[in-house]
Structure 1
Amino acid sequence: MENKQTYTYEEAYEASLQYFGGDELAARVWVNKYAMKDSFGNIFEKSPEQMHWRIANEIARIEKKYPNPLSAQQVFDVLDHFRYIVPAGSPMTGIGNDHQVASLSNCFVIGLDGNADSYGAIMKIDEEQVQLMKRRGGVGHDMSQIRPKGSPVNNSALTSTGLVPFMERYSNSTREVAQDGRRGALMLSVSIKHPDSEAFIDAKMTEGKVTGANVSVRIDDAFMQAAVDDKPYTQQFPIDSDQPMVSKEISARKLWEKIVHNAWKSAEPGVLFWDTIIRESIPDCYADLGFKTVSTNPCGEIPLCPYDSCRLLSINLYSYVEHPFTKEAKFDFEKFSRHVQLAQRIMDDIVDLEMEKIDKIMDKIRRDPQSEDVKHTEYHLWEKIKEKSGKGRRTGVGITAEGDMLAAMGLRYGTQEATDFAVSVHRDLAINAYRSSVKMAEERGAFSIYDADREKNNPFILRLKDADPQLYEDMVKHGRRNIACLTIAPTGTTSLMTQTTSGIEPVFMPVYKRRRKVNPNDADVHVDFVDEVGDSFEEYIVYHRKFLEWMKINGIDTEKKYTQEEIDELVARSPYYKATANDVDWLMKVRMQGAIQKWVDHSISVTVNLPNNVDEALVNKLYVEAWRSGCKGCTIYRDGSRSGVMIAVSKKDKKEKKDADHKESPEPVTAPSIPRPSVQEVRPKELDCDVVRFQNNREKWVAFVGLLDGYPYEIFTGLQDDDEGIVLPKSVTKGKIIKQTNPDGSHRYDFQFENKRGYKTTVEGLSEKFNPEYWNYAKLISGVLRYRMPIDHVIKLVGSLQLKDESINTWKNGVERALKKYITDGTKAVGQKCPVCGQETLVYQEGCLICTNCGASRCG
């Protein structure tokens, strides 16, 4: 029954905070992303308990259609407190939620059969992509069917423009689609066999290009072998044709080196080992019936055929460790096997719920007031998705907390012992998920095109047959309910609610610091930091929840305030030592992925994190090892390889740091004169920099103000803490802007700061990820600053810029605020009237406007 009662944000947050045991981040994420809401923002659930009952009741309703139904209580018990079974975001928000007309699927792939490189076909894919994204779906599609640049076409253009312009089009469409306050997600792929694959690989290396899509290149075994052996490789279009219209021979080694370089430089493209994907794919046993895999979802863990979709669910591995972090630690395989079978059954029920959602989406489209011509593409799109989803009943059972499970068992992530144990868990998961699917086929019927003969030589099926001959015999007899069952997704924010490591990944950091805003006048408040606008903050240590469990179980005081040295000693004693994202054995992590992949019928989303100073040879070695180990794909991220991401570099000499910190400053004067540069002045390589944060509508922005002799000389602005913005600790308020020369002779501007432990950290390329409009205005402002236009005049110039000014929290206001702090106190605000008394008697005082006539004050 639908819950009509609504709750305030504060009520939901407080209830959730209690539910999560005081975990503020988990509580806020749940209320913001997963509590049931309507389009007006009304909240209908105040804690995850209500959400889990909502889901359990819906699953139980579907169960009643079939023999031996699960009760709502049985479902709730495995969902409660995110302990065992955790539906992914789309099912969690959408199941039983009649306030939104949205899909329960996390992943979609689209594409057209045959010749799909006409403008009509390209535009159709663009429209379908947008229609799916507005329903919360992540979308992937392949571009291998678009003819290469320079090919003849039968229109006024005469020759094709190639892939890159259409990459831009699809990317821009993604950036324009909002999904409950977030942008859509897109994966673009292309075959290495395509003659334009090099241009595809290079597209994102150009500043500001294809910023709305992940890109991956589909690499076949022949290309990899040719690259390893330094042999030639033939590209052609069409890529699968016996009589291609375009064909050329290339050096596989040189193109492979470019892939490696770009991945080292920018973390893209990702690589998809396509022959491994197709060879292992069970759905491709039915390729002639429409299940030919063509691309993957945005994170790469679900290879899909056109118009198929998948819903995801994770099992919390940590919860199956008995006596965690002790010598008696044991994994409860019996309970785990039972729950895996339940999870697969719940996933199949969610397929039925998705069919109902698709019917509602189609009904809404029918009732929409637009003409039939406008509605046709969207309606037909969902018809195709419903047909494909119903025919294959694809599911995505996965895991989370792999890193915590291994630590709780006393195993160090990245060792052979840990890998062997992880493989045994995933082997058990695969066997039991398939056993459940076979049992459901017996009770509910197999997916409609099941054919044991088609699958008899599939490597994954043969592995199951070898591991459990009875399972295989039953499958041949009864069929299987689902065409494919398993995946390992990145789990993201859902792992915040399980309070565990994410997906298959190791812990990112077992201990870190955070700050909370405090009132300095309150009793018992300790102020550790005051920001640029005078807000006070208390600094506190945050422990990864399972690291805290390790401390408690091993009798370590969790209330004590530890020094950094003591924290380092604690981590060194723990099973998380040398097992974090940045210090695991990288080669072993790739081999672990390959070993586990043999028991996952879809794919695995995993990232190999590398320090900034590794060379391209290591990236090459890891990619080749991933291919040889049987991985279906691989993503390598070198620290700082994307602009706006922090780079950790070596600790500087403490004496040098101390000397720098204690240089004598010139005696202060009341009104310093402003240095006037000559026209010939060359910008210094390094400038001191102040950091100012502000809001631009709902987005958080940051301004970097470069200073020459204490006076603003240039300004950079950009998004902070965004997927494609600047990631910067809130404690950072000062640093340096360093002008760097790129290998091609162009310039970039990096921001560098030093943390409390004496490490330098660099944010690369301050200009590269910004909205071009704001970047151009920032260049204008920097130009007048360098010629020493008075700051109050610069602020007036900023105020005159023709930008949308719907809120005080706009980009203009933020830039004005960043600059006001540099105006000498007492400077008159020329041409501005006091909003209270109407007199031109405003002066600047500590960044605020003060009226000398009536005393009114305005800041910001």
Structure 2
Amino acid sequence: MQSHLLAVSKLLQITYLIINSKIYNIVEKQIYSYDEAYEESLRYFQGDELAARVWVNKYAVKDSFGNIYEKSPEDMHWRIANEIARVESKYPNALSAKELYDLLDHFKYIVPQGSPMTGIGNDYQVASLSNCFVIGVDGAADSYGAIIKIDEEQVQLMKRRGGVGHDLSHIRPKGSPVKNSALTSTGLVPFMERYSNSTREVAQDGRRGALMLSVSINHPDSEAFIDAKMTEGKVTGANVSVKLDDAFMEAAINGKPYIQKYPIDAANPTFTKEIEAATLWKKIVHNAWKSAEPGVLFWDTIIRESVPDCYADLGYRTVSTNPCGEIPLCPYDSCRLLAINLYSYVVNPFRPNAYFDFELFKKHVELAQRIMDDIIDLELEKIERIINKIDDDPENEEVKRSERVLWDKIYKKSGQGRRTGVGITAEGDMLAALGLRYGTEEATEFSENVHKVVALYAYRSSVAMAKERGAFEIYNNEREQNNPFIQRLAEADPELYKNMKKYGRRNIACLTIAPTGTTSLMTQTTSGIEPVFLPVYKRRRKVNPNDTNVHVDFVDETGDAFEEYIVFHHKFVTWMEANGFDPAKRYTEEEIDELVAQSPYNKATSNDVDWLMKVKMQGRIQKWVDHSISVTINLPNDVDEDLVNRLYVEAWKSGCKGCTVYRDGSRSGVLISAKADKDKKDELPPCKPPTVVEVRPKVLEADVVRFQNNKEKWVAFVGLLDGHPYEIFTGLQDDDEGILLPKSVTMGRIIKNVDEEGNKRYDFQFENKRGYKTTIEGLSEKFNKEYWNYAKLISGVLRYRMPIEQVIKLVGSLQLHSENINTWKNGVERALKKYIQDGTEAKGKRCPSCGSETLVYQEGCLICTTCGSSRCG
């Protein structure tokens, strides 16, 4: 009987899989251990440990219990190929799964990015395939209700894995009259903090959400917006960019006044203010020099060049960008990203007879655009699944309505415009492989030609699909005929334009250049449009100092021993082999310097390219990209503000749609220093010294952080004084014996009570619809005494304002008695890390990937400024 029941259960499982994943040749999915997947991926990447770990951690299909269902990227590429082939089968001239797999295999030619790579064919997550969204409000919706609505929509999208952007220009300026108990508006800065905090609260498979906040320079509060991130601990969960119009730029350059107004686009505004444009421009430049923000968006250029804005009155008016700035979007539109690996089209790389295979490249660009259109169909299926889940959720209809309406809007926009994001990666390696030095006129001219080919053949593909599959719903040639980008295509390829007028186009916009981030670790190339970061750097591996012939170069604070070794950029190795050098040889630093000097990577790294030429290169390539380009101008620490000024002005004049500069080490200058620099008259004033309170206040605001202690769920309560951690309590979160804590609780209060006999008790209170309610008594059987004593020790150093990074180092160095308590340390570290100011150097720590002592904290994560790897948690 039992075996019969098991057989029936198995049959039901298979039937469920058939219905839900539409896979007709069902076999039981095999589960792999982490080590199995890592070892197989290590073989796949030919010993590249970093690439193997990135793939297993971020892209291998997993369920919510952490079970891994893919052993190597080969499994992933077949998953993606099979799903896209399923969509292809609906249309004429369908591509087979094998044809698609050959394009994806080993990340050689076509590389879906981020959300598509993770989500296509993945039935374990109910998530979107879109990398990014923009949301917004219609008209002059500046009410509190509209502001809260945007906050809710932002969170709903981030929990489905999307980065989000939205504009704040609709919020009335500070001091404006309002018809509520406040009487006057607080302005937009408090809402920046609100949206930032929401982003930090949303976890996406172990990573925080990504947010872009923008505002028009025309807005009277734009100066406050520009300054917001210069204050300690403010708006740490968002990127910020200011939208600059041509009138402001001309006024700033020519020293003329500029009129700000609200509403910003009103013919008869309710409020106007005249400012000195040059003064505000100087502040933008100073802040960017000091902190790498704000980024600048040249808004008139964006709108003038935007093909979707030809349909602005039909809902496609661009209002903001995604978090990295490469996709300007209208409200409730989204985009999926895909990169073409440019290096793979170089034949005989790094040799005198190297050349770029344009014929194969043109063919693959057309296929990339076709694949992107297929992914839209897959995204529509994903959104339908999200909507079905919302409908099936047990919450009442009132709670679910806003999320349901949000996804209905996104579904309509995605299907109506069919926007795609075809881009590239490995630009730096492509140029080097052809013997061209990044940043020179010759290299720029070649790059411009490559991107012209991308534009022409992606649009050819979109027109061909319109003929086969139908044009996007609202296509109208007359609306687009005066658009500069469309005119450029028509001039370059009259036949393309003729066919576009006849058949229409499948996609409202097609192209972008995004940062490829971890994707470039798996393509083993330079990232996006960027040059190589470093051709040679150091890594380290843990070793047993007792082994024979082991060489110990470094011992960390826990006593672990490491060996340092030289790592060459993958394509630098190819250059070495092509020129008779042995990558396996141990080279001295002098020999390495000589090697680099002989290579095409010499003077072509991100920190030493010709910066003005890089900006001009961006402007020339931008002519052939209908969305935008994510690129960062990396500068040495010692450059002055005038260079940032010249770079921004040149970017505007060159036709760039946006620009970001990063001065080496500038992130550590984001916050106002407590030590004034007397030699610099124009520095911002120092902040007041940290507050030290000898007697604990009766009531403290509290932050709630959940974490794992071994296999148990725990919670930390971090008491805050002036926004700074003052004390910490931890306890088991357990429905039977531990802390009963609602899932939605993230903030509360800690109240210290003393009875008549002088006994102390700490009560934890949390907000609900009826106000604060006591839920936990601090000193009770719910708190383990050993953990309590360690927490008291940590609280003692917190309240005297020991720097948070040093507190974390102290916690990590504690030698505790049990394995459970040692995992507890990790949870405490995680609870405190969110309070480390962005840009703080992690002194004494080395990057586990490259071994460099160049780790900085960014939103609670450790980021290596040398190799770009990150570690959170």
The CA deviation at 1:805 is: 10
Out of 234, 250, 253, the position equivalent to 2:275 is: 250
Q: Which amino acid aligns with 1:638?
A: R
Aligned residue for 1:275? 300
Aligned residue for 2:715? none
User: Over the residues paired in the alignment, what is the CA RMSD in angstroms?
Assistant: 2.6
Cα distance in structure 2, aligned partners of 1:813 and 1:269: 28
Aligned residue for 1:476? 501
Structure 1 residues 784, 386: CA separation in 2 closer, same or farther (over 3 Å shift)?
Answer: closer
The CA deviation at 1:486 is: 0.2
- 1:809 partnered with 2:826: yes
Q: Which amino acid aligns with 2:139?
A: G
The CA deviation at 1:519 is: 1.1
- 1:298 partnered with 2:323: yes
Q: Counterparts in 2 of 1:383-422, with a 5 A limit?
A: 383-422=408-447
Q: Counterparts in 2 of 1:4-83, with a 5 A limit?
A: 4-83=29-108
Structure 1 residues 783, 439: CA separation in 2 closer, same or farther (over 3 Å shift)?
Answer: closer
Out of 438, 453, 468, the position equivalent to 2:478 is: 453
Query: Which secondary structure state, in structure 2, belongs to the residue aligned with residue 484 of structure 1?
Result: coil
Out of 249, 266, 273, the position equivalent to 1:241 is: 266
Q: Which amino acid aligns with 2:456?
A: I
TM-score of the pair, normalised by structure 1: 0.77
Cα distance in structure 2, aligned partners of 1:627 and 1:401: 25
The CA deviation at 1:536 is: 1.3
Aligned residue for 1:176? 201
The CA deviation at 1:327 is: 1.1
The CA deviation at 1:214 is: 0.3
Check whether the contact 1:56–1:76 (CA below 8 A) recurs between aligned residues: yes
Query: Which secondary structure state, in structure 1, belongs to the residue aligned with residue 565 of structure 2?
Result: strand
Aligned residue for 1:563? 588
Give identity over the alignment, percent.
75
CA offset digits 1:747-774 (Å, max 9, x no partner): xxxxxxxxxxxxxxxxxxxxxxxxxx99
Aligned residue for 1:112? 137
Cα distance in structure 2, aligned partners of 1:104 and 1:145: 29
The CA deviation at 1:530 is: 2.0
Check whether the contact 2:290–2:669 (CA below 8 A) recurs between aligned residues: no
Query: Which secondary structure state, in structure 2, belongs to the residue aligned with residue 642 of structure 1?
Result: helix
The CA deviation at 1:806 is: 7.8
CA offset digits 1:772-791 (Å, max 9, x no partner): x9998645356799xxxxxx
Check whether the contact 2:290–2:670 (CA below 8 A) recurs between aligned residues: no
Check whether the contact 2:88–2:94 (CA below 8 A) recurs between aligned residues: yes
Q: Which amino acid aligns with 2:550?
A: V
Cα distance in structure 2, aligned partners of 1:293 and 1:813: 38
Aligned residue for 1:780? 799
Aligned residue for 1:365? 390
Aligned residue for 2:576? 551
Q: Which amino acid aligns with 1:474?
A: N
Aligned residue for 2:118? 93
Query: Which secondary structure state, in structure 2, belongs to the residue aligned with residue 203 of structure 1?
Result: helix
Aligned residue for 1:629? 654
Query: Which secondary structure state, in structure 1, belongs to the residue aligned with residue 261 of structure 2?
Result: strand
CA offset digits 1:20-57 (Å, max 9, x no partner): 01000000000000001111111000000010000000
Structure 1 residues 117, 778: CA separation in 2 closer, same or farther (over 3 Å shift)?
Answer: farther
Cα distance in structure 1, aligned partners of 2:726 and 2:43: 41
Q: Which amino acid aligns with 2:325?
A: G
Query: Which secondary structure state, in structure 1, belongs to the residue aligned with residue 460 of structure 2?
Result: helix
Query: Which secondary structure state, in structure 2, belongs to the residue aligned with residue 216 of structure 1?
Result: strand
The CA deviation at 1:4 is: 1.2
Check whether the contact 2:341–2:424 (CA below 8 A) recurs between aligned residues: yes
Cα distance in structure 1, aligned partners of 2:299 and 2:534: 33
Check whether the contact 1:393–1:481 (CA below 8 A) recurs between aligned residues: yes
CA offset digits 1:386-427 (Å, max 9, x no partner): 001110000000000000000000000000100000000000
The CA deviation at 1:116 is: 1.9
Query: Which secondary structure state, in structure 2, belongs to the residue aligned with residue 608 of structure 1?
Result: strand
- 1:578 partnered with 2:603: yes
Cα distance in structure 1, aligned partners of 2:288 and 2:138: 31
Q: Counterparts in 2 of 1:834-849, with a 5 A limit?
A: none
The CA deviation at 1:559 is: 1.1
Q: Counterparts in 2 of 1:591-606, with a 5 A limit?
A: 591-606=616-631
Check whether the contact 2:291–2:669 (CA below 8 A) recurs between aligned residues: no
Cα distance in structure 2, aligned partners of 1:215 and 1:341: 35
CA offset digits 1:803-844 (Å, max 9, x no partner): x998243447999xxxxxxxxxxxxxxxxxxxxxxxxxxxxx
Out of 328, 339, 358, the position equivalent to 1:314 is: 339
- Unmatched 5+ residue regions in structure 1? 647-694, 700-714, 718-772, 786-791, 816-860
CA offset digits 1:77-117 (Å, max 9, x no partner): 00000000000010001000001000000010000101221
Q: Counterparts in 2 of 1:482-501, with a 5 A limit?
A: 482-501=507-526
The CA deviation at 1:379 is: 0.6
Query: Which secondary structure state, in structure 1, belongs to the residue aligned with residue 668 of structure 2?
Result: coil
Q: Which amino acid aligns with 1:76?
A: Y
The CA deviation at 1:534 is: 2.0
Cα distance in structure 2, aligned partners of 1:808 and 1:221: 53
Aligned residue for 2:534? 509
Query: Which secondary structure state, in structure 2, belongs to the residue aligned with residue 485 of structure 1?
Result: coil
TM-score of the pair, normalised by structure 2: 0.76
Cα distance in structure 2, aligned partners of 1:187 and 1:813: 24
Cα distance in structure 1, aligned partners of 2:796 and 2:630: 39
Check whether the contact 2:134–2:334 (CA below 8 A) recurs between aligned residues: yes
Aligned residue for 1:164? 189
Q: Which amino acid aligns with 1:203?
A: A
Query: Which secondary structure state, in structure 1, belongs to the residue aligned with residue 213 of structure 2?
Result: strand
Structure 1 residues 205, 239: CA separation in 2 closer, same or farther (over 3 Å shift)?
Answer: same
Query: Which secondary structure state, in structure 1, belongs to the residue aligned with residue 464 of structure 2?
Result: helix
Aligned residue for 1:435? 460
Check whether the contact 2:466–2:505 (CA below 8 A) recurs between aligned residues: yes
Cα distance in structure 2, aligned partners of 1:810 and 1:399: 39
Q: Which amino acid aligns with 1:269?
A: P
Check whether the contact 2:709–2:827 (CA below 8 A) recurs between aligned residues: no
Check whether the contact 2:175–2:184 (CA below 8 A) recurs between aligned residues: yes
Check whether the contact 1:716–1:775 (CA below 8 A) recurs between aligned residues: no
CA offset digits 1:487-508 (Å, max 9, x no partner): 0000100000000000000000
The CA deviation at 1:381 is: 0.2
Structure 1 residues 698, 225: CA separation in 2 closer, same or farther (over 3 Å shift)?
Answer: farther
CA offset digits 1:661-685 (Å, max 9, x no partner): xxxxxxxxxxxxxxxxxxxxxxxxx
The CA deviation at 1:716 is: 13
Check whether the contact 1:174–1:186 (CA below 8 A) recurs between aligned residues: yes
